[in-house]
Amino acid sequence: MTLWDRLYDNEWFVARTKTATHTDLAEEVRRAQQALAEAATEVERARTVSPTAVAVALSGMNAAQAALDRAEARTEAARMCTHVVAGHAFTITIVEALDGRQERVVESCTVERKATLRSPAPFERQWTAVLVDPGSRHRSHRVVSLQDDADESLTDVCRWVATGELWPVQEPGRHYA
């Protein structure tokens, strides 16, 4: 996928986070279902004509099924993308970790990177994040310390997921001058 494709996809996802567009997507699915039903009727009608007519009607039915599949996939993708941060569409879910702390799982709607933002442990101030980049040439997983502020840490993690860059990064156990 090229950079332009990703930008286009991201703009699509950002636009689809608006509630009004979900009704447009539902209408698109309804129209695709209706077109598929009409194509199935056409196949039945073609069976009374000839095998060639059936082949042509089945081709139309296959195209209608593909259109329905695309419409359903777009609807599902738009439903999953829940947040827009700095112009990029994300799915952010809040889960409870095994130790009882809250974690926010941040996934891009267009990029494979994923981050899990962990709230500070008792007697700690900084948020931490587990950054997962399956396309990385070096390390696919790493743990970093972030800001004291939850909103700034979330913004940093979203920036990393969208761009692959995190400023300033502080890996636990390393000291920076």
Strand order in the sheet with 83-85: 83-85, 88-96, 102-108, 114-118, 128-132, 141-145
Question: Mean pLDDT across the chain, nearest whole number?
Answer: 79
Identify whether the C-beta of residue 97 lies closer than 8 Å to the C-beta of residue 104.
no
pLDDT digits (tens, 9 = 90+) for 121-147: 788 888 888 888 887 777 777 888 888
Q: Which of 8-17, 65-74, 78-87, 164-173 has the highest mean pLDDT?
A: 65-74
Q: What was the pLDDT predicted at 6?
A: 45
Nearest to 85 by CA among 170, 163, 21: 163
Task: Average the pLDDT over each of 62-66, 102-106, 139-143 and give the range with the smallest value.
Answer: 139-143
**pLDDT band (50, 70, 90) for residue 151:** confident
Helix (H) or strand (E) holding 60: helix 51-80
Percent of the chain with pLDDT over 90: 23
Q: What was the pLDDT predicted at 49?
A: 92
